[in-house]
Amino acid sequence: MFNTTNHLLVLILLISAPLFQQKCLVSGSPVLQRSFKRPDPLRHFKDYNGGFDIRDKHYVASTAFTGVHGYALAIVWLLCGLVFSIFMIVKCLSAGSTSLPCLDHYYLHILFLILFLTSLAIVASSFVLTTSNRTLMRTEKLKETVLGIGEDALGTIGRVMKTTKQMQYILLPYNPQICATLSSITQDLRRNSRVIRRFVDSSRQAFNKATHTLYALITCFPFIQKLVYIAHVVVLSVNFVTLVASLVLLLLHWRPGFIMIIFCFWILTSMCWFLTGLDFFLYNFAGDACFAFEDFQQHPLNSSLGSMLPCINESFSEKLLAEIGYTINNFIVELNSNMSVLYRLLGVGEKNEEIMGVIKICDPFSGAPNYSYIPQNCPHDAIKIGDVSKILARFTCHKEATTKECKDEGKFLPEGSYNMAHAYSRSIQDLLDIYPDLLSLSKCTIVKNKVAEIVEHQCRPIRISTTLLWSCMLFLSSIMVFLVLTWIAEAFLCCQKNPVYVFQDTLI
């Protein structure tokens, strides 16, 4: 009997030391891209040689197949249990024909071994449950971070959309008939507003599509992890109860219960092996996702996540930003160089120009060709373009006041001129206010910052958790195998003392 047991142990140890699939680094062009060489069950086990892509069923199938060693051991263990059960039933029902080996002198050894292995299994089960819960919490945190990418980006787009609508509404009353200068400014501002809206509309569609993909990507892992966590809780809770029950039965020496314990342990051991394979699949999936985030951080345009994370075409967005900078820069430079032009447009006479003084407007853009946005470079005596209307408001004569009252109070600017100046200054200020948002969208700042946070603060804990989870599950599964074999030895000892009583009572 012990020769057979030794052969079985050797077979189990050989099978449970699998050559896990290795990740391969494939160099393509000047950029290093990670791809994986794994058997794909959907392609008759031909290798999958692609990168991380949750949308590709072949990637998912090949990654899930990395846990095949655990799945296979679960099936093999069940089949061995079926064969062993048939063998023991036949052997014990015909106990008179064949004698069982004498195990009396091993009784204390077996008893202490059962107690030791049961204690180990209880500790391992508790550790697996703790690690599984920690892994679930970390994957939920990762999910919130990644979904925050789309939410932040769409929030930025919403602010830009709202601003451009306000610009178009404010500029609507001022048609090209006012004068050539204002016509040019109006057309530039309206054109910029329309271009921004088209840019944002197309970006919003891309962000929506990418966000749906991201949602599928990042909810897939926590969803699977939740299912695995529930499976761990159910299986290990039953296992824990069975372990405690086995100790009670051992102390009570209720021998028919030994066979039921062996049956339960055998099923639970198969489930543990299956969970080991599933945990190893999750370990690979988490590692692949982190590799993909690291690739995106280094090479955003050439990574496997490049088409999944919501980033905007930089070449188009840079042209748009340069056009906005050009429009605002030219307008402010022209005003600052000849403020009398503004006064004449507003209907301010030469006598009143001295009263208003020289207004210097802050130009936050550098000159050609880049028109970089540098708001901190404004002189101390310069004012924001949006504050021009506040200065003009002190000299504005409203319709409710009489001409004499306005003259006495030094208010000589017609209300219509003030409204026009307010519309233009506010529109340009609105463009300046949304410029940082447009800049962050064009540079993919939101996405890059979130990805950097994931790579620096979340990937390592998730890798550690998933590694501990499948390692602990592998240890527990191995302990359960030895525990089952030890209980079989205990059952043989009981069967040697009273074979018919033990097995026939169990069958009844």
Spell out the residues 6+ positions from residue 82 whose beta carbon is closer than 8 angstroms to its own: none
Position 477 scores a pLDDT of: 93
The count of other CB atoms within 10 Å of the CB of residue 28 is 10
Residue owning tokens 């169990």: 506
pLDDT grade for 361, boundaries at 50, 70 and 90: confident
Residue 313 φ/ψ, nearest 5 degrees: -60, 115
Instruction: Give the residue, 351 or 312, on which the prediction is more confident.
Output: 312
pLDDT grade for 507, boundaries at 50, 70 and 90: very low
The count of other CB atoms within 10 Å of the CB of residue 508 is 6
Residue 327 φ/ψ, nearest 5 degrees: -60, -50
Model pTM above 0.85: no
Q: pLDDT tens for residues 448-505?
A: 888 888 899 999 999 999 999 999 999 999 999 999 998 888 777 655 555 444 444 4
Residue 23 tokens, joined: 């990740």
Residue 487 tokens, joined: 């209980």
State the average pLDDT over residues 64-68: 90
- CA atoms of 237 and 60, how far apart (whole Å): 30
Q: 117, 482 in Cβ contact below 8 A?
A: yes
Instruction: Give the residue, 423 or 7, on which the prediction is more confident.
Output: 423
Q: What is the mean pLDDT of the chain?
A: 72
**How are beta strands 23-28 and 31-40 bridged, if at all?**
antiparallel
> Could you please report the per-residue DSSP string of 149-211?
HHHHHHHHHHHHHHHHHHHHHHHTT--TTS-HHHHHHHHHHHHHHHHHHHHHHHHHHHHHHHH
DSSP letter at 255 equals: T
Least confident of 80-89, 96-105, 297-306, 307-316: 96-105
Most confident of the ranges 43-52, 243-252, 326-335, 474-483:
474-483
pLDDT grade for 322, boundaries at 50, 70 and 90: confident
Question: Does the pLDDT value for residue 402 go beyond 70?
Answer: no
Q: pLDDT tens for residues 148-169?
A: 776 776 677 777 777 777 776 7
Position 463 scores a pLDDT of: 92
Please state the length of the chain: 508
Q: pLDDT tens for residues 128-149?
A: 989 988 988 888 888 778 777 7
Helix (H) or strand (E) holding 349: none
Position 346 scores a pLDDT of: 53
